[in-house]
Structure 1
Amino acid sequence: MNRKMLFRLVNDLVMTLLMLIAMAYYITGNMVHEVVGVVVLLLFIVHNFLNRRWYKSIFKGKHNLRRILQIGINLIFLVTMIVMMISALLISNELFPFIPINNDMILRQIHVQTAYWGFIIMAVHIGLSWEIIINSVRRMTRITGTSRIRTIALRILAVLIVAYGVQSSFEGEMGSKLFIYNPFGWFTDNSTLRFLIDHLSIMGIYVCGTHYTLKFIHKQQKREEKQSEIA
């Protein structure tokens, strides 16, 4: 693996973990939340700079169902992140208190709701690129061959992560957080580590769901291409 790809993976991994820490607002406190948020903003800018060629290629080439989904999700994720970060700057109490906002209740609601939706969309965004990520990790670890045992073990692990993620999603009332704004916050007694594990498992639901949906779409497209060739 070249250094540029390794840097991209590290940048995205750190950004993902920090976004999850930023979501643990009632565990970390406001100052940590804002500092982490600024770091996430910088990493997000780096992420988009490294992937700037993708924006130039949006209207080029063939647009099949997979690519249309990828473009749509990526653009929605971009807009969600921009709205979340702008609202964060406007309601900042620690790092940017000089920004005059008289009534920030609406901005707080926008920030919180876009944060939770951004969390889900981010997981789908990762799922769209999961095959690329896995191939990059294989090259980095020099795993070139295939192993049926390894494949089965990884699929069992994926099922366990999804199962735990579903449980964590219900226990954490994730559905309510997406559609209902609670001005008093969603309090939790979990530690930061438990919070990260729970939310990583919830991400696993959407990463796995997106990845295997794309594999299904790819197989269907191949089947249709073969049928058209036979006809």
Structure 2
Amino acid sequence: MNRNMLIRLVIDLSMTVLMLVVMAYQITGNAMHELAGVLLCLLFITHNILNRRWYKTIFKGKHNGRRILSIAVNLLFLVSMAAVMISSVPISCDIIPFISINNDTVPLQIHVMTSYWGFIFMAVHIGMSWATIINSVRKMTGITGTSRIRTIAFRVIAVLIVVYGVQASFEREMFYKLTIYNPFGWKFNDSSMGFLLDHLAIMGIYISGTHYVLKFVQKQDNTNFQNKKVH
């Protein structure tokens, strides 16, 4: 693995960890939430700078199903994170308390709802790069061969994670968090480990789903390409 790829993986992993930290507001408290948010913002900006060439290629070349989906998800992730960062400024209490507004209900509503959407889009974004991530991990660990048993084991684990993630989504009312603002906060008797397991499993739904949807889309694109060659 080259140095640039390693740096990108470290940044992406750090962003994922920080996203989980900022989501755990009820556990960490406001000061830690804002500090982690600032670090996440800086890493997100760095991530986009390192991938700036991608923006130049949006309107170039052919746009098959996979590429259209990739562009849509990446842009939605960008918009949601931008909304989170911008809305955080007027509601900050510890990092920049000198900037305040008389009524912070609207920016708080935007901040909370877009943060959950950002969490989902981040998971989908990871899912779109999952094959690349797995290949990089294989190179780092020296795993070069394929194993049917290992493949089956990982797929069983993925199914279990998704099942648990669906249950956690209902228990944590993720649908309502994405669509309804609750000014009194979402009450949940939480432990750090319970929060981590639940949210990792919820991420697993979108990572696994996106990965296999892309495999299907890629197969369809290849089939259409072969059909065009025949005709």
Shared fold per TM-score greater than 0.5: yes
By how many angstroms is 1:45 displaced?
1.1
1:180 matches 2:180: yes
2: CA distance, partners of 1:228 / 1:96: 58
Q: How does 1:125-164 map to 2 (within 5 A)?
A: 125-164=125-164
- Cα deviation per residue 1:185-214 (whole Å; 9 max; x = unaligned)? 112222122211100100110111111001
1: CA distance, partners of 2:223 / 2:63: 18
2: CA distance, partners of 1:4 / 1:182: 42
1:5 matches 2:5: yes
Aligned to 1:224: 224
Q: Check whether the contact 2:20–2:196 (CA below 8 A) recurs between aligned residues.
A: yes
1:20 matches 2:20: yes
Which residue type is aligned with residue 95 of structure 2?
Answer: L
Aligned to 1:80: 80
Aligned to 1:93: 93
By how many angstroms is 1:40 displaced?
0.5
Q: Check whether the contact 2:64–2:221 (CA below 8 A) recurs between aligned residues.
A: no
1: CA distance, partners of 2:223 / 2:70: 21
2: CA distance, partners of 1:9 / 1:223: 32
By how many angstroms is 1:225 displaced?
2.6
Q: Check whether the contact 2:161–2:205 (CA below 8 A) recurs between aligned residues.
A: yes
Q: Structure 2-normalised TM-score?
A: 0.96
Aligned to 1:106: 106
By how many angstroms is 1:141 displaced?
1.4
Aligned to 1:51: 51
Q: Which runs of 5+ in 2 are unaligned?
A: none
1:68 matches 2:68: yes
Which residue type is aligned with residue 56 of structure 2?
Answer: K
Q: Check whether the contact 1:15–1:44 (CA below 8 A) recurs between aligned residues.
A: yes
Aligned to 2:168: 168
2: CA distance, partners of 1:126 / 1:37: 19
By how many angstroms is 1:52 displaced?
1.1
Which residue type is aligned with residue 48 of structure 1?
Answer: N
By how many angstroms is 1:122 displaced?
1.1
Which residue type is aligned with residue 60 of structure 1?
Answer: K
Aligned to 1:119: 119
- Greater shift, 137-146 or 168-177, is seen at 137-146
1:30 matches 2:30: yes
SS at match of 1:97: coil
Which residue type is aligned with residue 139 of structure 2?
Answer: R
Q: Which runs of 5+ in 1 are unaligned?
A: none
2: CA distance, partners of 1:48 / 1:76: 14
- RMSD of Structure 2 on Structure 1 (CA): 1.1
Aligned to 1:202: 202
2: CA distance, partners of 1:4 / 1:192: 33
Q: Check whether the contact 1:21–1:192 (CA below 8 A) recurs between aligned residues.
A: no
1: CA distance, partners of 2:140 / 2:74: 26
Which residue type is aligned with residue 104 of structure 1?
Answer: D
Aligned to 1:41: 41
By how many angstroms is 1:220 displaced?
1.6
By how many angstroms is 1:73 displaced?
0.8
